[in-house]
Amino acid sequence: MKKNILYISILLFNFNLFSQEHINLYSARQEVLLRPLIKNFEKQTNIKVNIIAAKANQLINRIIQEGEYTQADMLLTTDVGRLYIAKKKNIFQHVDTININKYIPKQFKDKDNYWFGLSIRSRFVVYNKLKVSKDELKGYIDLADYKWNKRILVRSSNNVYNQSLVSAMILNYGEEPVEKFLKKFKENFSRTPSGGDRDQIRAILGGEGDIALVNSYYFLKMKKLDKAKKLVNIEAHFPEDDIMKTHVNISGIGIIKYSKNKENAIKFLEYLIGDEAQKIYAEENFEYPIRKNITLNNFMKKYINFNKDSIDINKVAKLNKKALLMMDIAGWK
């Protein structure tokens, strides 16, 4: 059976294993977001990066099924929850280099060095300035207030971004206050949750709600590319109060346990945390650098100075199941 998996894998990928140095990157991120990074890396190192794109759960299951015969060298995905699952499934290997330990903050990597954050995103509020005053907006817990009744747009509880936010809220506010929050928060939805983060922003434009919870890079990219100025009255708010600051999460990567190209994979990982790649992440993908002291353009500078939640995201990932159960009980579908 395993021999068949090996044979099928080689046929499917059609990797030229012998003519060029390479790595095989299983990616849950869109290829268009990675192309500028990969193009520069290939040019500098002459190491070819083959991308196999699919949803995170599909890629994780595929790596498990392929076992020691997998052609995967690295798994790249979004949200700490998915990286945590991948580690629990025992598909990553420990990696330890001077640059990894120097440049990636402990808060944004696995405590055992099995996965590593590459970029940061916040989960913030976007709002219609014609209907909402900046002074009305406070922390996440305030979104349960009746003043937001039938005004909030958000995607489904099945989405890992929302699950991680609720996990972080449990760690900050405690389980009982978050249970109460979820029941009231759900009553403030302006419609049944549907679509992705960009759809929530479009729904504000369509008058279906006044505020929305979204990941920062979705809004920032839409705002930057908004030549028609449709978003001129839509702005961002970074939620914070005395207990919890703005929730942040990561896109991240790990090297597969059965990687056939470990040295090349480490080179790619170290490129992704280098100055050039970190600047590309910010200015082309509209994400925040994992590293400090990366010079950003004027547009990104407007959205970089906010107070980040200091909770270790390793702890956030561990509460995923509890968060989802609480969301389901509250009726957030």
**Is beta strand 74-78 parallel, antiparallel or unpaired with respect to 22-27?**
parallel
Show me where the domains of the chain are located. 2-120+249-296, 122-248+307-330
pLDDT tens track for 79-134:
999 999 999 999 999 999 999 999 999 999 999 999 999 999 999 999 999 999 99
Nearest to 121 by CA among 218, 6, 21: 218
What pLDDT sits at residue 235? 97
Mean pLDDT of 183-196: 97
**Is beta strand 248-255 parallel, antiparallel or unpaired with respect to 234-237?**
unpaired
What percent of the chain lies above the pLDDT cut of 90? 91
CA separation for the pair 193, 158 (Å, rounded)? 10
Q: Name the least confident of 4-18, 61-75, 264-278.
A: 4-18
Mean residue pLDDT of the chain comes to: 93
Q: What is the pTM for the complete model shown?
A: 0.90
Instruction: Output the six-digit token pair for 6.
Output: 């090996």
**Range 2-120+249-296 classified under CATH 3.40.190.10:** yes
pLDDT tens track for 272-322:
999 999 999 999 999 999 998 899 999 999 999 999 999 999 999 999 999
Q: Which H/E stretch holds residue 236?
A: strand 234-237
Residue 154 — very low, low, confident or very high, per pLDDT cuts 50/70/90?
very high
CA separation for the pair 304, 234 (Å, rounded)? 18
Q: Which H/E stretch holds residue 52?
A: strand 48-53
Hey, what CATH topology would domain 122-248+307-330 get? D-Maltodextrin-Binding Protein; domain 2 (3.40.190)
What pLDDT sits at residue 293? 86
Mean pLDDT of 221-244: 96
- Rounded to 5°, angle at Cα 23 from 51 and 160: 50
**Is beta strand 22-27 parallel, antiparallel or unpaired with respect to 48-53?**
parallel
- Residue 96, class by beta-carbon neighbours within 10 Å (0-12 exposed, 13-18 middle, 19+ buried)? exposed
Mean pLDDT of 242-265: 97
Instruction: Enter the DSSP assignment of 22.
Output: E
What pLDDT sits at residue 20? 76
Cα-based distances in Å from 156 to 153, 170, 189? 10, 19, 11
Domains 2-120+249-296 and 122-248+307-330 belong to one CATH topology: yes
